């Protein structure tokens, strides 16, 4: 089909939650590249929003999925599943968690975290502890409970009444958090590095303060690692930058490299609150998703992609900071590893994004003035070197014309 026909069909049949999408339809990918249906090649610096950690069509992932699909795809968690046990083991052996439960998305993993935290206190004889404190500008998903957790009114406003007993406080403000904690507080839930709102890291002192407050006041600490986890920030998990461990954390996006999966991970003392019948999922942890997840996580570990994320992230940010020196369009470059936000001095992020696309580079934009870069963890210097002069020219044009 031609692009115009696809667009026409989409307008006719698909719910319009994405507005005018970028006018491109991809057909295949390999490594850092995607090709559209007209044969034009793009360098992917967004990875489907931090999902395609191994790039496109990585042989280990393709092999795992095709092999598993040819054997069987699904059987239900009524039965033991080898790849489910193996992926849970690989996560546990490489993190602070003792137990894992698989879901199908980030929101669903977060729902599980919220349920687990509430159940933990209920079973402890403290059923009044049900309030969850999150951060402003956070993003935890689109279900009714995770929307309530998401500290951004624009996502919430049309869906009231939301699930009650969530409130949010400003990021990196320990006093505000301390004031918000009451005997009814069950958990603090936060992203070590906020993604959706434009790459906003928590500070080292704040994270230590949060952990301490949670210990003092008997409150669980939940980290949403859906975006910042799995090597994205140069370490396997975002929390490892801080030397602070959560009681519960969640994963999704990159875990199976594009195959839908989410993971709820917890220390034993909390995880044991889930007893038979307390939680479940039809698709969650199915053989195909877990084979894919195992292939991705073992590749991240074996191919030292966290290390690559750290060094290429540094190189990318250094290069962008080089541009910042010569162009007043860049206000700030921030992030960790390959989770990078570029704050522009003018509200032209959408135009810059569209021009990058025209020039064959996929980037993300947040709001009016932030460009977000979340490339595959396999990115090499040459990919960054190819992008920087293109980005420089686009910014220079915008500086003149806007």
Ligand X SMILES: *Cc1c(COP(=O)(O)O)cnc(C)c1O
Residue 44 vs 196, nearer CB to ligand X: 196
SS3 42: strand
Q: What angle do CA 114, 117, 118 make, to 5 degrees?
A: 85
Q: Strands 131-135 and 99-103, how do they pair?
A: unpaired
Q: Which residue is nearest to ligand X (CB)?
A: 106
- Give the count of beta carbons closer than 10 Å to the beta carbon of residue 324: 18
Q: Which residues are catalytically annotated? A: 139, 224, 253
Residue 198 vs 234, nearer CB to ligand X: 198
The minimum distance between CB 371 and ligand X, in angstroms, equals: 17
Residue 196 vs 343, nearer CB to ligand X: 196
The minimum distance between CB 194 and ligand X, in angstroms, equals: 7
Least Cα distance to 99 among 268, 224, 221, 280 occurs for 268
The minimum distance between CB 80 and ligand X, in angstroms, equals: 26
C-alpha radius of gyration, the chain, whole number: 21
Q: Which residue has the tokens 């209920």?
A: 122
The minimum distance between CB 141 and ligand X, in angstroms, equals: 4
Q: Which backbone phi and psi does 93 adopt, to 5 degrees?
A: -65, -20
The minimum distance between CB 140 and ligand X, in angstroms, equals: 5
Residue 147 vs 329, nearer CB to ligand X: 147
Tokens of 155: 């996502």
Judge whether 60 and 264 are in contact, CB under 8 Å: no
The minimum distance between CB 401 and ligand X, in angstroms, equals: 33
Residue 146 vs 319, nearer CB to ligand X: 146
Judge whether 202 and 168 are in contact, CB under 8 Å: no
In the chain, DSSP finds a helix count (H) and a strand count (E) of 14, 17
d(CA 136, CA 139): 9
Long-range contact set of residues 66-72: C-beta below 8 Å, sequence gap at least 24: 67/291, 68/287, 68/288, 68/291, 68/292, 69/288, 71/287, 72/287
d(CA 66, CA 73): 10
Q: What angle do CA 238, 244, 245 make, to 5 degrees?
A: 85
SS3 20: coil
The minimum distance between CB 150 and ligand X, in angstroms, equals: 8
Residue 261 vs 395, nearer CB to ligand X: 261
Residue 31 vs 262, nearer CB to ligand X: 262
Tokens of 387: 């992008």
Residues that bind ligand X (CB under 6 A): 105-107, 110, 139-141, 191, 195-196, 224, 226-227, 252-253
């Amino acid at each position: 089909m031609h692009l115009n026909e696809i667009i026409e069909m989409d307008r006719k049949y698909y719910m319009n939650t994405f507005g005018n999408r970028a006018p491109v339809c991809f057909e295949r990918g390999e490594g850092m590249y995607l090709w559209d249906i007209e044969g034009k090649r793009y360098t992917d610096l967004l990875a489907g929003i931090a999902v395609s950690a191994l790039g496109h069509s990585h042989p280990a992932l393709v092999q795992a999925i095709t092999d598993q699909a040819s054997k069987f795809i699904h059987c239900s968690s009524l039965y033991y599943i080898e790849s489910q046990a193996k992926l849970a083991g690989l996560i546990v052996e490489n993190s602070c968690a003792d137990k894992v439960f698989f879901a199908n998305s980030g929101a669903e993993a977060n729902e599980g975290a919220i349920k687990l935290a509430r159940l933990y206190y209920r079973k402890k004889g403290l059923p009044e502890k049900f309030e969850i404190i999150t951060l402003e500008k956070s993003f935890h998903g689109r279900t009714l409970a995770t929307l309530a957790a998401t500290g951004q009114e624009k996502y919430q406003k049309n869906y009231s009444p939301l699930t009650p007993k969530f409130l949010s406080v400003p990021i990196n403000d320990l006093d505000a958090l301390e004031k918000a904690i009451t005997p009814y507080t069950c958990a603090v839930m936060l992203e070590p590095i906020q993604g959706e709102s434009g790459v906003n890291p928590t500070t080292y002192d704040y994270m230590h303060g949060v952990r301490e407050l949670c210990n003092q006041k008997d409150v669980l600490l939940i980290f949403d690692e859906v975006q910042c986890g799995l090597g994205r920030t140069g370490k396997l998990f975002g929390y490892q930058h801080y030397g602070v461990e959560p009681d519960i954390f969640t994963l999704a996006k990159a875990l199976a490299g594009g195959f839908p999966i989410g993971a709820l991970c917890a220390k034993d003392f909390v995880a044991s609150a889930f007893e038979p019948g307390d939680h479940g999922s039809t698709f969650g942890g199915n053989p195909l998703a877990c084979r894919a997840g195992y292939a991705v996580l073992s590749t991240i570990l074996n191919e030292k992609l966290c290390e690559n994320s750290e060094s290429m992230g540094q190189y990318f940010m250094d290069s962008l900071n080089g541009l910042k020196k010569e162009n007043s369009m860049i206000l700030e470059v921030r992030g960790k590893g390959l989770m990078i936000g570029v704050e522009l001095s003018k509200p032209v992020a959408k135009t810059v994004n569209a021009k990058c696309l025209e020039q064959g580079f996929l980037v993300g934009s947040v709001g009016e003035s932030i460009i977000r870069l979340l490339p595959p963890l396999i990115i090499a210097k040459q990919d960054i070197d190819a992008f920087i002069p293109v980005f420089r020219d686009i910014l220079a044009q915008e500086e003149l014309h806007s």
